[in-house]
Amino acid sequence: MSHPGWVATSLASTFLFAAASALAQGFPSRPISMIVPYAAGGSADVIGRLVAAEMSKTLGHNVVLELRPGAGGNIGAELVAKTARADGYTVLLGSLSLSSNVSLMKLNFDPRKDLVAVAGIATFPNLMVTSTEGPFRSLKEAIAAARQRPGELTFGSSGPGTSSHLTGELLKAAAGIDMTHVPYKGSGAVYPDLISGRVNFLFDLAGSAMGYVQGGKVRALATTSSRRSASLPDVPTIAESGFPGFEFGAYLAVFAPAATPKEAIAALEDAIAKAIQTPAVKERLALTAAEPVPVSATGFQKYFNDDVERFARLVREGKLQPLR
């Protein structure tokens, strides 16, 4: 005959297990917040909204974007890493600065320990653009001018540590030139000064830059991808323009607080994987010259860790200077 205490304990354990299973199976039971740590109108905002809309269909609850720009992506990232509840209802749409800032800045959080990858979306090349009214018609001309006038030519960026800043720094190192960095709050804010010639260059994500290029406002001099984009077949890569091996891109991926339940991660991962296969998202990714990255949580976690190490190595080699 079973001991009454054992039966009570067993029933309690069964109840707790059932409750945990119901909780996992019931995720999500309310809307999810996706924190975007970058300015409105950029690629993260535009693609994030498309992905969130498709995720909402799979999950049965809305995925709502919240823009929290500032400090090169650190403000929004720290919010998710340090203050969000680890329940799957607050996630981060992270990008390159999450990898680079570990080595470039003094952070109040460690994305390798405080966050966990949910799924990768894509990686995006940058376009080096200049005003159509300006004197530069090729990357070769721009570099020749920078060599003749060290420090005089300027390049705008979305802010310190962002891909638009880091691409400029890496080109400076590769070409042995000096240009002056002018940080803005988002790449959209650079364009008026770029078009009018107050700033010479911008290294913007292809998705953000494409409309300005196609509208004749700016001229694309080169792309940071490994091959020419089908959307801009006449724009050469930096690698083929005299800098073999030069390749740079900014990924978009979703992260969650590190202690988020595995069941919630799995549900979000599945919704993102389905979202990026929908015609609407695939079409937008193609327009932005996007390249694939590992989609799975485990695959992207490795990709992310490797990216963090890549920037640590560039700092160790003196190719990038810490911003702190």
Distance CA 80, CA 116 (A): 11
Predicted pLDDT of residue 207: 82
Which CATH class, in words, describes the domain spanning 125-241? alpha beta
- Indicate the pLDDT class of residue 181, thresholds 50, 70 and 90: very high
- Indicate the pLDDT class of residue 288, thresholds 50, 70 and 90: confident
Query: Residue 277 half-sphere exposure, CB side, CA atoms within 13 Å?
Result: 8
Report cis status (omega within 30 of 0) of the bond before 4.
Answer: no
Distance CA 208, CA 196 (A): 18
pLDDT tens digit sequence for 90-114: 999 999 989 999 999 999 999 999 9
Q: Could you say which DSSP state residue 236 is in?
A: P
Predicted pLDDT of residue 41: 79
Distance CA 30, CA 32 (A): 7
Contact 323, 105 (CB under 8 A): yes
Predicted pLDDT of residue 4: 52
User: Torsions phi, psi of 160, nearest 5?
Assistant: -60, 135
Predicted pLDDT of residue 21: 44
**232 φψ region: left (φ > 0), alpha (ψ -120 to 50), beta (else):** beta
Tell me the average pLDDT of the chain.
90
Residue span(s) of the chain under CATH 3.40.190.150 come to: 9-123+251-316
Report how far apart the first and last C-alpha atoms of the chain are (Å, whole number).
69
Percent of the chain with pLDDT over 70: 92
- The CATH topology of domain 9-123+251-316 is D-Maltodextrin-Binding Protein; domain 2 (3.40.190)
Predicted pLDDT of residue 25: 61
Give this prediction's pTM.
0.81
Distance CA 106, CA 245 (A): 30
Distance CA 16, CA 136 (A): 68
- Indicate the pLDDT class of residue 16, thresholds 50, 70 and 90: very low
- What average pLDDT does the segment 245-254 reach? 93
Residue span(s) of the chain under CATH 3.40.190.10 come to: 125-241
The answer, yes or no, to whether residue 77 has pLDDT greater than 90, is yes
Specify the range with the lowest mean pLDDT, choosing from 55-59, 109-113, 185-189, 196-200: 185-189
